[in-house]
Structure 1
Amino acid sequence: MSAGRFDHIVVVDWSARATPSPKAPTKDAIFIAHSAHGATPQVSYYRTRADAMAALEQVMTDTLMRDERILATFDFSFAYPAGFAQHLTGKADALSVWPLFAQMVKDGPDNANNRFDVARALNRRFPGVGPFWCVPKTQACPDLPARDLRHGHHLPERRKVELAYGKMQPGWKLYTTGSVGSQAILGIARLQSLRGRFGSALAVAPYDGIERPIVLAECWPSLMAKEIAHYALAGEIPDAAQVRVIAAGLAALAPDDLAKMLVDGDAEEGGVLGAGHEALLRSAIHAALGP
């Protein structure tokens, strides 16, 4: 059986909100699309990261109990530019940083978190002005500036995949529009908890291979921005539309094609699911959702 064959496809639109999202679904919150056995994706809304993770853990536990497989994708960076992991851990391995993040991050049931403190502490481990930047003025300090004053740490601004797609934001940016940095800090810590929970049953693509029952992968829905806009429903929140459309496309992919996408990337900077395979993903979305 192809390692790219999954019974469940999950696509997560993440959030770094510091308070619970409103009761009514709103943009810039957490939405999760779940396609089971190729069925139309069902989209759920979560007010907190804790609630979203509890739901994901339950789906993964149920999947294992049924001897099935699940691919869960998340729209935040799983890795940083070359040199970051090596400096912090002595290993040029993106996953070597994950336990450190999990140890440092405090992320409460009400979304209260210490992401800026974590970034500040990480910056202090680098010479010069460390790589993380962009925070509210009340959080700014020499170790974590509000503006891009980074220097002396010898780290690139972007990963290779981020350079290839000019609209992808660098993982160092923590605040304001397009800032994936805060989402990554909080998200990586949460995914590390899944690694601890499921152990050898879980793999992080492309680092661990893709043969295990639970596979996590980084995605960037904007890779299919035109398709998402085309298939968005009247009045649908954009975050909900993007997870629904991407989940439908991934579920419709031929297993061998999905496997090819999942193994792209390297041990230090990882990769983005579908990057370089846009035509395949686009065709799968059209096949799933129509002309």
Structure 2
Amino acid sequence: MSRPSTDAGFDTVIVVDWSARSQPSPAAPTADAIFMAVSHGPGTEPRVSYHRTRDAATQALVVHISAALDAGRRLLAGFDFPFGYPRGFARALTGGDDPLVLWQALSARIEDAADNANNRFRVATDLNRLFPGLGPFWGCPPSQANPDLPERGSLRHGHGLPERREVERRLPRAQPCWKLYTTGAVGSQVLLGLPRLNHLRERFGTAISVSPFQPPVTPIVLAEVYPSLLHRLVTARRRTGEILDAAQVRVLAQALHALPPAALTGMLAEGDTEEGWILGLGHDRLLLEPASCTS
């Protein structure tokens, strides 16, 4: 296995729309499930695949990463959920501010079976008990509600943590990571996504780095993305009958791969090294310009 040069950028770009479903998604592709777009070159059409479970998606990622490493190719994988929490959460849980140690701590608590059955609401309840007052996590089905996990965010009080990361303050339409349930919730994706990424880090070791927590100079780089950054381009390029999630990952994968390598590397190095960052935030025009020249 040869180590690829970072000068030419990435040979493969993957963008993943994650899901926190507690059962396998339907056999036929449907919204609010896992879609994965894989681009093998600037100007090429990404291939989009549908995955019914997080386990199946993780296995597919292992195959893509292994193939890239065996071929001496670089791979960027973007995921549409936060890679960190507002400042102070990691320290309360781990005693330090390292977000990758936090990933390990969450992995030790989360149970996520091959059929998507998981314990995320119980974990959120236990995490809330680490803080005074009530919160910060909220949102659950009525059957999961308990005195330490409120159904509504307005019921929280006195937990002492910020509501949003800095990146979400700059992009208000992005949901805060404490919300676990109902429309737009991303918190469950975080609780069930970070342990999966931690598994990839454990499996591939120093071949993987995580933006913006580590320098993006490894063969495999993981990054947080927000496909709605390109909502106008997605709207323009969405095909008749195409599921929005599938269109978003396809268009974003193509846009990222069309960037000049130095520009993409610079974006990967930006952001808060405790809370995380959305790749490309503030570079909408640069993302749109090369993408507009591809078909």
Query: Per the shorter chain, which TM-score range?
Result: over 0.9
Q: String of CA shifts for 1:82-104, please: whole Å, max 9, x gaps.
A: 11111111212222210011111
2:49 pairs with 1:49: no
Alpha-carbon RMSD across the aligned residues, in angstroms, is: 1.1
Rounded to whole Å, the distance in 1 between the matches of 2:286 and 2:98 is 29
Partner of 2:172: 166
2:110 pairs with 1:91: no
2:224 pairs with 1:215: no
Greater alpha carbon shift after TM alignment, 58-67 vs 92-101: 92-101
Identify the match of residue 16 of structure 1 among 17, 20, 36.
20
SS in 2 for 1:133: coil
Shift of 1:2: 4.4
Rounded to whole Å, the distance in 2 between the matches of 1:277 and 1:4 is 20
Rounded to whole Å, the distance in 2 between the matches of 1:261 and 1:216 is 13
AA matched with 2:41 = H
Partner of 1:35: 39
SS in 2 for 1:52: helix
SS in 1 for 2:294: helix
Rounded to whole Å, the distance in 1 between the matches of 2:66 and 2:172 is 38
AA matched with 2:109 = M
SS in 2 for 1:217: strand
1:127/1:54 CA distance change after superposition, 3 Å: same
Rounded to whole Å, the distance in 2 between the matches of 1:228 and 1:248 is 11
Identify the match of residue 261 of structure 1 among 252, 261, 267.
267
AA matched with 1:19 = Q
Runs of 4+ in 1 over 3 A off after TM superposition: 1-4
Normalising by structure 1, we get a TM-score of 0.97
| Correspondence list, 1:162-241, <5 A | 162-241=168-247
Rounded to whole Å, the distance in 2 between the matches of 1:8 and 1:288 is 17
Rounded to whole Å, the distance in 2 between the matches of 1:57 and 1:259 is 23
Q: String of CA shifts for 1:35-88, please: whole Å, max 9, x gaps.
A: 113321000001111111101101100100011110000000111111111111
Shift of 1:150: 2.0
Q: How many residues align?
A: 289
1:3/1:134 CA distance change after superposition, 3 Å: farther
Partner of 1:283: 289
Rounded to whole Å, the distance in 1 between the matches of 2:274 and 2:220 is 21
AA matched with 1:164 = R
Shift of 1:3: 5.5
Rounded to whole Å, the distance in 1 between the matches of 2:294 and 2:103 is 35
Whether the aligned pair in 2 keeps the contact of 1:33 and 1:43 (CA below 8 Å) is yes
Rounded to whole Å, the distance in 2 between the matches of 1:225 and 1:245 is 10
Whether the aligned pair in 2 keeps the contact of 1:123 and 1:130 (CA below 8 Å) is yes
Structure 1 unmatched runs, 5+: none
Identify the match of residue 75 of structure 2 among 70, 79, 98.
70
Structure 2 unmatched runs, 5+: none
1:245/1:127 CA distance change after superposition, 3 Å: same
SS in 2 for 1:97: helix
| Correspondence list, 1:147-158, <5 A | 147-148=152-153, 149-158=155-164
SS in 2 for 1:271: coil
Rounded to whole Å, the distance in 2 between the matches of 1:33 and 1:141 is 38
2:250 pairs with 1:244: yes
2:37 pairs with 1:25: no
Whether the aligned pair in 2 keeps the contact of 1:4 and 1:258 (CA below 8 Å) is no
Whether the aligned pair in 2 keeps the contact of 1:120 and 1:143 (CA below 8 Å) is yes
